[in-house]
Amino acid sequence: MSRVLIIGCGGVAQVAIHKCCQHPDVFSDLCIASRTLSKCEKIKNELEGKTKTNITIKQIDANDYDALVSLFKEFKPEIVMNLGMPYQNLKIMDACLECDCHYLDTAAYEPENVNDPVWREKYEKRVKEKNFTAYFDYADQWSYEEKFKQKGLIALLGCGFDPGVTQAYVAYAKKHEFDTIETLDILDCNGGDHGYPFATNFNPEINLREVSSEAAYYENGKWIRVPAMSIKREYNFDGVGMKDMYLLHHEEIESIARNYPEIKRIRFYMTFGESYLRHMKCLENVGMLSTKPVMYNGVSITPIQFLKAMLPDPASLGPRTVGKTNIGCIFEGYKDGKKKRYYIYNMCDHQESYKEVGSQAVSYTTGVPAMCGAMMILKGLWTLTGAHTVEEYNPDPFIDALNKYGLPITESYEPIMVE
């Protein structure tokens, strides 16, 4: 029986809310707090009478630290699940420390304004020192390690699918399949079709920032930088078929490289269709992906935020998306002195997800692990205090929960490797 507070009520949060309400024995009292109260009201009305979880709702702006603290003091959650934007991660972590609650999120902190001169100076220094160019960086959240530890609290960072489940797959492979892992390729395939010429399957601002940024992978202790979308491969995905995929910089590479230094090369690939890439390039060329505010008719507008307002809401794609996602990890390494390959992945059907919780599979594959991660903490199955990513915890109970609650694994011992 636990009190849980969810921040955000978008695509991912709505799935997590449905899934928490399927387990009222663990999630007995749920407060949904987001910027737009009507979204919280809608899902509360949908679920009331169908769940034993008590649901309350609250309007909040997560940029308002005092409002966060007063809400946490009033509701007294055991854990706060931050399923809104990554821009507020640090603020919400601070409020959790002040109010003695665990913390969970699904995306690494990055600043909303990447042109802020103070942040920019720190960023440029990091790029020079580490050749690490992404705007997101776990270092900011890892710096909370001691504070959370001292309070006996857990900050579980990046507990969606990727980051999240992909790191549990790494811990699982190391525990059950390998003595040493040499290479890792994380493959994220969305074989879904929503019928729009252009839409993103999760928050457009974060998605487009991620995809249009310089790409990178990790090899022999170093970041190797390459231009965005410059490394392309084809892969035949189980349940989906042949797809083009592109190398991207992705959050979990940083934490896996830190926690599994034995892995010599870590790469991340994501599939994109022709239409998506053509639209993105065009939007980029005309400046619509810019995060730098511009003045228009006396009003300050951030182009990428205005674009977000024009694009379909990812939470609305559920009824029209068909096909499957396939996300997983391919490893090469050694077991008992012999070379070995192993592929672990999940396939998730967009329409099945929609039938169960009213959302497409990209939100589903993120919201289910967020619920399962919170469940691990609330049931006392994950107890390591401090600020940690998923691969630092025992993968077995988490993967058991994913198997039971909607994201079962498939394994292959003869995978086709990525060149």
Q: Under the rule (CB under 6 A), what is the footprint of ligand NDP?
A: 7-13, 34-36, 39, 60-63, 83-86, 88, 106-107, 158, 160-164, 202-203, 206, 314-315, 366
8 or 333: whose CB is closer to ligand NDP? 8
How near is the Cβ of 25 to ligand NDP at its closest, in Å? 26
* Nearest distance, CB of residue 255 and ligand NDP, angstroms: 12
Q: Which is nearer to ligand NDP, 202 or 382 (CB)?
A: 202
For the CB of residue 198, give the shortest distance to ligand NDP in the complex, in Å.
16
Shortest CB 370 distance to ligand NDP, Å = 8
CB of 319 to ligand NDP, least distance (A): 16
Instruction: Give me the sign of the Cα torsion angle 298, 303, 305, 306.
Output: positive
Closer CB to ligand NDP, 36 or 275, in the complex: 36
CA distance 102 to 157: 11
Nearer to ligand NDP, 29 or 205 (CB): 205
Compare residues 35 and 341 and give the one whose CB is closer to ligand NDP: 35
Residue nearest to ligand NDP (CB): 10
- CB-nearer residue toward ligand NDP: 208 or 247: 208
Task: Kindly tell me which of 88 and 141 has the beta carbon lying closer to ligand NDP.
Answer: 88
> Least CB distance from residue 88 to ligand NDP, whole Å?
6
Closer to ligand NDP by CB, 51 or 89: give it. 89
Q: Nearest approach, Cβ of 85 to ligand NDP (angstroms)? A: 5
Minimum CB–partner distance for residue 313 and ligand NDP (Å): 7
